[in-house]
Structure 1
Amino acid sequence: MNQLINTILDTRDVIFFVLNDHLYRTISLTIIGSVVGSFLTVVVHRLPLMIKERVVCDLADFYPELLVERDFAEYIKGTNLGGFSVAPCCNTLIKAKHNVPILSWILLKGRCAYCGVKISPRYVGLELLTAVVFGITSFVSPSKEAALIGVGISAVLIAIAFIDLEEWLIPDELNLFAIGFSLLAINYSIIDSSIANAFCAAITTYLGLSLINITCNKLIDKPALGGGDIKLMAAMAMLLGVINSLAIVAISILTMMFFTYFTQKKAEGYYPLGPYLAVLVWVKVVYML
């Protein structure tokens, strides 16, 4: 028992030593970023499925006549964020030696270890992106608290960007994480604010952006923002403030319009704004740390 306690204490000392040293902290969080990136590939794929399953269950409870048993069985798979990873091409359980972030993809030359089918580079791309983002965030952070909260916010923003890009959806669960990290930043005095001011900023931003949406609906019969966009910026207003949040929304919309114009995409509906918001919010967060 004493040996176990000593091992735990020694491990704790090593962790604190690494976190308190700027260079070691940056290297460690960069490596951890690749692991988190691997998990985010799961989040990006499974979280929207979980939300859809929840909607179908609610529909079955309140409007059972709208669903037949075949439809229910088709949509309800019991998706969750736990369990082992499976190969997307053949649904084979991936062994640990084939699931090392970045390295496994390189050694396997971008192919499935079990069926040989080429694996999409989006998986290793997300791992690389998260590692780089974690490294930059840690490098500019003046303390271990700022670094840990910063990489936490970064992970949430990356997940939001990719989910919105693929599904046109910003899950409430991720916005709640954004609120949590914002409150932690206030608690550890990373930003000069208070809990009361943070909630006032969130409410003001939410009401302001909702008013913009109502106005756009009246003028052009189309909302300027999605509900998830508004909730995200209300959550980040707790950290960034009202003015910064509104400015980020405006710049994101202009950037999206510029990009869609020069890529000659036809405006046949809505475009996901989440990726633009996530990038600009991350830049501002890194600047504030």
Structure 2
Amino acid sequence: MGLLFGSFLNVVIARVPAGESIVHPRSRCPRCAHQLAWYENIPVLSWVALRARCSSCGLPISWRYPLIELLTALLFLACQRRFGWTPELVAALVLVLLLVPLSFIDLEHWILPSELTWPGIAAGVVLSWPMGMGRVRDSIIGAVAGFLVFWGMEWLGEKIFKKEALGAGDKDLLALIGAFLTWKPLLAIIFLSSLQGAVVGVAMLLIHGRAGPAPAPEPAAVTPPATAPGAETPQAGEPGPAQVAEEQAHTREDAEEGEEEEDDWEPGPTNIPFGPWLSLAALEVMLLGPWLRGVLPEPLDLLLTGIR
């Protein structure tokens, strides 16, 4: 089941950021649009049998596809071992199906789509119903607390640093996590995600000189074409090549200014996407909570696992 759902999550990761349907069309090669036959779409095995290359165009198939399939399968197995065949297992599996695509989308695009986070918040509250009204109450409190905590941190960061310190989608993701895991482990999740993200960010700074992505290359300057000997010169009142190129440059500048007004933030050398670290911490607390409580001394176990 984990392998099959992992294969579907690959579609979600590729299409949701592009605003495409996750149902139609059928799975296809992202380069040549070759539609995959059923035997080319078997999780992991097809990737191995095809030697990681498209059967149509021969270009490489990313290692990300089998990785996500295997990761989802292992997380499904871990959830079953942790919760057994209980209502909590269903909620845990749905949480995995949300955190995996959100993490990979955030890593690649630096966004946490509301198409996943908002329905996920509702799903967390609904799936707490079989566990009793007390769990429903804690789930609602967790969703509200998760949103408000990060909203407050975002507001404070903007006041102190005069710029966006946290992504707008991070508060939605923490609200989603709170809806599934309740308010009790939220402090542990914020602590673990911040600690692990900081350690990896510092390591990347030391190794690569930057934690964020490499800056985009500057666009090449467009030189207006010279008029060839013997070519017709523009008539009076008609724009020449230089004037046309200048007008096109102004049009591009206006479009770029409009885009900057909508979203003028770009990741800097010290920025890293926070969504994957929130997801990792949530999975650690959910799956390793009993083991951590057994090996950590009080009150550290309460800090890292939440109050029971």
Q: Same fold (TM over 0.5)?
A: yes
**Aligned amino acid, residue 161 of structure 1:** S
2:16 matched to which residue of 1?
47
Q: In structure 2, which of residues 113, 121, 142 is the aligned counterpart of residue 171 of structure 1? A: 113
Q: CA deviation at 1:247?
A: 3.0
Residue 183, structure 1, aligned to residue 125, structure 2: yes
1:122 matched to which residue of 2?
64
Q: Counterparts of 1:215 and 1:176 in 2: how far apart (Å)?
A: 24
In structure 1, stretches of 5+ residues that fail to align are: 1-31, 51-78
**Aligned amino acid, residue 121 of structure 2:** I
CA 1:288–1:176 in 2, change beyond 3 Å: closer, same or farther? farther
% identical aligned pairs: 28
**1:50-109 deviation line (CA, Å, top 9, x unaligned):** 1xxxxxxxxxxxxxxxxxxxxxxxxxxxx2111201112321111111111111111111
CA RMSD in angstroms, aligned pairs only: 2.1
CA 1:249–1:224 in 2, change beyond 3 Å: closer, same or farther? farther
CA 1:144–1:113 in 2, change beyond 3 Å: closer, same or farther? farther
Moved more, 193-202 or 84-93: 193-202
Output aligned runs, 1:149-160, within 5 Å.
Answer: 149-160=91-102
2:300 matched to which residue of 1?
none
1:215 matched to which residue of 2?
156
**Aligned amino acid, residue 285 of structure 2:** K
Output aligned runs, 1:79-228, within 5 Å.
Answer: 79-82=20-23, 83-189=25-131, 193-228=134-169
CA 1:106–1:91 in 2, change beyond 3 Å: closer, same or farther? same
Q: Counterparts of 2:32 and 2:152 in 1: how far apart (Å)?
A: 48
Output aligned runs, 1:260-279, within 5 Å.
Answer: 260-264=201-205, 265-266=209-210, 268=268, 270-279=271-280
Aligned residues: 229
CA 1:254–1:221 in 2, change beyond 3 Å: closer, same or farther? farther
Q: CA deviation at 1:242?
A: 3.1
2:287 matched to which residue of 1?
286
After TM superposition, the score normalised by the length of structure 1 is 0.72
Q: Is residue 138–residue 183 contact of structure 2 (8 Å, CA) maintained in 1?
A: no
Q: CA deviation at 1:278?
A: 0.7
Q: Is residue 149–residue 185 contact of structure 1 (8 Å, CA) maintained in 2?
A: yes
**Aligned amino acid, residue 275 of structure 1:** P
**Aligned amino acid, residue 210 of structure 2:** K
